[in-house]
Structure 1
Amino acid sequence: MGGFNSFVKLFIPKDRVFYSLFEDVAANLVEMGKVLVELVSSTDMAVRKDKTHLIERLEHKNDDFTHRIFVELGQNFITPFDREDIHHLAATLDDVADYIHGSAKRLDLYKVHEINDSVRKLADLIYQGTLELHKAIPELRTMSNMRNITDACVRINSLENHADDIYDMAIADLFEKESNNAGELLKMRELYQALEIATDKCEDCANVIESIIIKYA
């Protein structure tokens, strides 16, 4: 089947390849977000370890997609939209993957046994953000359904604001409860930061998508 797909790709106009690659990245990010939610929902350390390894493999897969986008960018004279926008969107999507992976890695490295509500809520907001990106990105192919793109971007902005509130409350709570335990305080603050930055990166992606549709709509 792989050979046939490669054969078919020979006949795809060269600028179309970017849409497919961005859609692959978006689908991969949804999978990463889903696995992160499963990871923080589990109390079984062996299950968590497996989920962390899976997120790591998905992050490597994401790196491959991003690399292919940059290679195509270097080889193609014709692109569906501005080269800087393609570069920027690929880089910001890759950042989302990096911070999902970073969050999972911190949970593992810091041996966080008790996963609290703040961590679970932030993980869920990241997952929701990846789902919205997955709705918006395929619409870039035709740009015929602008409403779908703008709605997804608005929802991502709202998710990020919600994540900021949860982050602020989690940090305040942390300083109140762990003020005498510097190690625990630093570990949890780093974890909260990685999770919150992942939602920021989803918003960065939404901003790039919005700037693309403003130019081409």
Structure 2
Amino acid sequence: MKNSFFSRFAPQEPKFFPMLKHLSEILIYSSNLLVESFEHNTPEKRSEYYKRIKDVEREGDKQTHQIFDELGKTFITPFDREDIHDLASTVDDVIDGINSCAKRITIYNPHPISDSGKELSKLLQQEAIYIGKAMDELETFRKKPAALRGYCEKLHDIENQADDVYELFVKKLFEEEKDCVELIKIKEIMQELEKTTDTAERVGKILRNLIVKYA
């Protein structure tokens, strides 16, 4: 539903598009750092990357709060306020999830992360990239929704891949890992990674709802 009948004719604030784009760039940067961090196994390097990811997460919080502040001050918005709020909030949740993964790796300091963990981090990175591409379409998707719809499908497909990687990993973990403490640490890290890929896919669901409502 449009903001009001008059919103069809009144000028709309375009500032939300670059603000959402910037938030997605913060997401992509944090996902890149997470992938890099998986190449290091020392406590010092893990702590260093967690600090860098934490700093990026704080930037994401600032950008999200700025979007919320603008929603409160802007009379006419390009979409319903709830849609912009949900989109920004969920992208920020993905950034928070990446931070949570890095935090757990630093605190638990497990054995070297398995190839499955690295694969999940790269799938999450792919989701972040597609979210960034989707933000580029927000200003024009009403007339040409195909590209945005395609990015939503990519997010859905990647999340399914992440589910498969996680399920196979957990099965092998319980079969092969004999150290119970290590098992718990690794499983929780992998679970947080998989949950964050789910959150990224929720961004796609919000975008699909935008297509239904506005395209």
TM-score, normalization by structure 2: 0.90
Output the amino acid matched with 1:46. Answer: E
Question: 2:135 aligns to what?
Answer: 137
Matched ranges for 1:167-178 at <5 A = 167-178=166-177
**1:133 maps to amino acid:** I
Distance across 1 between alignment mates of 2:54 and 2:80: 31
Secondary structure of the residue aligned to 1:141 is: coil
How many Å separate the matches in 1 of 2:117 and 2:72? 40
Quote how far apart the aligned CAs of 1:39 are. Answer: 0.5
Residue identity matched to 1:190 = E
Structure 2 distance, partners of 1:43, 1:190, is 17
Amino acid at match of 2:72: G
Distance 2:212 2:138 in 1: 12
Q: Distance in 2 between matches of 1:86 and 1:32?
A: 22
Q: Give me the whole-angstrom Cα distance separating, in 1, the residues matched to 2:119 and 2:13.
A: 39
1:185-216 per-position Cα deviation (integer Å, ceiling 9, x unaligned):
22111101110011101110011011012111
Q: Is the alpha carbon distance of 1:14 and 1:47 closer, same or farther for their aligned partners in structure 2, counting shifts above 3 Å?
A: farther
2:214 matched to 1:202? no
Backbone CA RMSD of aligned residues: 1.5
Q: Give the CA deviation at 1:51.
A: 1.7
Cα distance in 2 for partners of 1:91, 1:71 equals: 13
Q: Report the AA paired with residue 95 of structure 2.
A: A
Return the structure number with greater helix share. Answer: 1
Match of 2:4 in 1: none
User: Partner letter of residue 158 of structure 1?
Assistant: D
Distance 1:118 1:60 in 2: 28
How many angstroms apart in 1 are the aligned matches of 2:109 and 2:44? 12
Partner of 2:149: 150
Long gaps (5+) in structure 2: 1-10
Q: Which moved more, 1:107-116 or 1:152-161?
A: 107-116
Gapped runs of 5+ residues in structure 1?
1-12
Aligned to 1:8: none
Name which of 104, 112, 115 aligns with 2:113. Answer: 115
CA contact (8 A) 1:135 1:148 kept: no
